[in-house]
Structure 1
Amino acid sequence: EEEGGEGAAAAAAAEVLSKVQLAHVLARLAGEGGLAATRPWEHELSVGEQQRLAAARVLYRRPTLAYLDESTSGLDRANEAALYAALRGDGEGGGGGGGCRAHVSIGHRPTLFEFHTHVLTLVNEDEAKWEVMPTKQFIKQHRLI
């Protein structure tokens, strides 16, 4: 039964890696101990692949809330969109499964606006004053995009 558990976990990991366009990594590492192997991953994976692997960990664990700090800075638009679709639980194989209930992204890319409903902004650093507003309102108010 433990073997079945390991097999199910491996299948779930493979599915998550596929959602973030990293299925090729499994094939590449198949004969070398796979993902369980201890290795210098920073030499094995590009920055974008490392970011997608971090996202895959979030998708595999399915937390209620995920904090993402510059999680797509090394990704192109297509991979960024796929990552956020997977976080929402939609897209290929999504169907409401996977993803997480909520995510907070910290980033500087204007492309992030399309994946979020609200923006939290530090208004006054000295007083630690923050402001939350709907993304559309923020974009209009600041004349962005």
Structure 2
Amino acid sequence: MRGDALAALARQFVSYLGVGLAALAVHYGVLIGLVETGRADSVRAALAGYLAGAIVSYGLNRRLTFGSARPHAEATWRFGVVAAIGFGLTWLIMAALTRGLGLPYLAAQVLATGAVVVWNFLGHRVWTFATRPAAMLREGASGVR
């Protein structure tokens, strides 16, 4: 990767992390609120927090991180697929670490977050918000060149 491309990727990832902090605040707020009030166990609370954070993440990442012009009708379902896989990873990691290994829920969530943030960034960068190839834009919906 060339120097300027690497620098652009680094800037984009830093922006992604900044947006992630906002989404993370929502996620952890829901998680802690549900667990500490006894309304949900740690795994269910983590999943509820993940969904709340995903709502924040979509809007901010679309606009600030990726500057995507992909239509919402296309970007939202793609975002949903990437987020659903991240949701599944969150469930697996949280269940394994809290129920299987008995780790405290916040420690388990920090580890889950670390794994899922990498998956989500890559998925959104290369698929959800990726720029459409120019050939597809010229061909339009008909596929005729």
More helix by share: 2
TM-score, normalised by the number of residues in structure 1: 0.26
Greater RCO (Cα-Cα under 8 Å, separation 6 or more) = 2
Question: Normalising to structure 2: TM-score of the pair?
Answer: 0.26
